[in-house]
Amino acid sequence: MTGDAPAGIPGPRTLRPLVGVLAAMAVSLTGTRVSGIALPWFVLVTTGSATQTGLVAFCEMAPYVVVKALTGPLVDRVGPRTVSWTTDLVSGAAVAVVPLLHVLDLLSFPLLLALVAVVGAARGPGDLCKEVMVPEAAERARVPLERAAGFAGVVERLASTLGPAVGGVLVALLGPLAGLVVNAVCFGLGSAVIALTLPRGAGRAADGASDEGGGQEAGYWRRFGEGFAFLRREPMLRVIVGMLGITNLLDAAISGVLIPVWAKESGAGPAAIGLMSGTMGAAAVVGSLIAAALAHRLSRRAVFFAGFALAGAPRFVVLALDAPLWGILPVFAVSGFGAGFLNPVLAAVLFERVPRPMLGRAQALGDALAWAGIPLGGLVAGAAVSLAGLTPVLLAFGAAYFLTTHLAGLRPEWRAMDRARRAVAPEPGVSTGISPGGPD
């Protein structure tokens, strides 16, 4: 990318939109990570059930995935800025109701499930919009796309460091409800940052690619179908989505159920959960910083699979071995370092291969399919631990992670990952080979 104004992005160079998007990501993701410690611990100590803990995770993540998938055409039409700040407000309000009702002794378990479902349904579009706004913000700032994606990865990893650490301390000192209050405040801050720092219409896609029928504005379902049609024609993106669907399920299982159950059974407590997640997040920040600086010079394919080799199975194995905390933390640090390289590579490939006018739809559908296993992760892990015990489940899930990431790397579609940086997305109005169609 040169210092000249990019096509379709008027005006002088400005860092404000990019800083605003990254700041909104930082506060909302930090609050979510705090809640990721507080909410499972709240359910565990109030119910004592790993199965119910997994059910709560399912009720948050299932609406997250479904609504995120369906929101893509709306984001492309209305614009991500408006959708982002409004959905963050809804998420914050729903989270704030949980501690309030609990203090008033009005919080039943079915009502808790309903509230976390609202949080998930609103958080999915909010997260999507912040991701979709990165490419335009990078162009306005005249920042290379891979570097901007790397910055977004650094922010995510910082949130994964600070959020669990803060969450662990808050839960240990003040109880899990304090963590939920912090999450609600963070959603409110994220909403304000987006509303105040991004220009109106930021990230709103041009409609030319969808208006092939003589100027008529494309309807919702036609836009939705175009997103599926595009993914069908992208073999590399399909393979990426398939692999991530499995690894995300396993990641959700270990973070949402297996680590909390290990902390409870071992007596390590919530502070240990925060320390482990914080250690992994801090190392991931280092990996993301290196990726932001050097990713455009490295082989994406090699970096991607090396990162997964470090980030995946070792965490499950070290917990299954019942190692002491001082032995667990270095393994989580190495896993975090490897994980730090993953999202910058994935984001850069996606932003390069997807035409800007349908970025919201393609990202929404791709994310939803890749995240489809996350709601099941907690359910499967909770039921498996209840039936077989913690150690066998950790070993089985670790083996599944290893096989998924290593066998997937043998497929020929991955060769296109390094060629992707040479692909140029069509300008708005240029045919992409996409024909209207419905979902698969």
Q: Check pLDDT > 70 for residue 209.
A: no
DSSP letter at 256 equals I
Which residue would you say has higher pLDDT here, 7 or 194?
194
- Pairwise CA distance, residues 318 & 307, whole Å: 18
The stretch 279-306 carries a mean pLDDT of: 77
Which residue would you say has higher pLDDT here, 336 or 271?
336
- Pairwise CA distance, residues 134 & 156, whole Å: 13
Residue with tokens 């959708």: 83
pLDDT, tens digit, for every residue of 120-158? 888 888 888 888 788 778 878 777 776 777 788 778 777
- Pairwise CA distance, residues 322 & 325, whole Å: 9
pLDDT at 79: 77
In CATH, which of 3.50.50.60, 1.20.1250.20, 2.60.40.1530, 1.10.630.10 is domain 16-206+220-422?
1.20.1250.20
Q: Give the torsion through C-alpha atoms of 166, 167, 170, 175, to 10 deg.
A: 180
- Pairwise CA distance, residues 355 & 377, whole Å: 32
User: Is the pTM higher than 0.75?
Assistant: no
Q: Check pLDDT > 80 for residue 30.
A: yes
The stretch 27-51 carries a mean pLDDT of: 83
Q: Give the torsion through C-alpha atoms of 56, 87, 92, 127, to 10 deg.
A: 70
pLDDT at 428: 35
Question: DSSP secondary structure string, 152-167?
Answer: HHHHHHHHHHHHHHHH
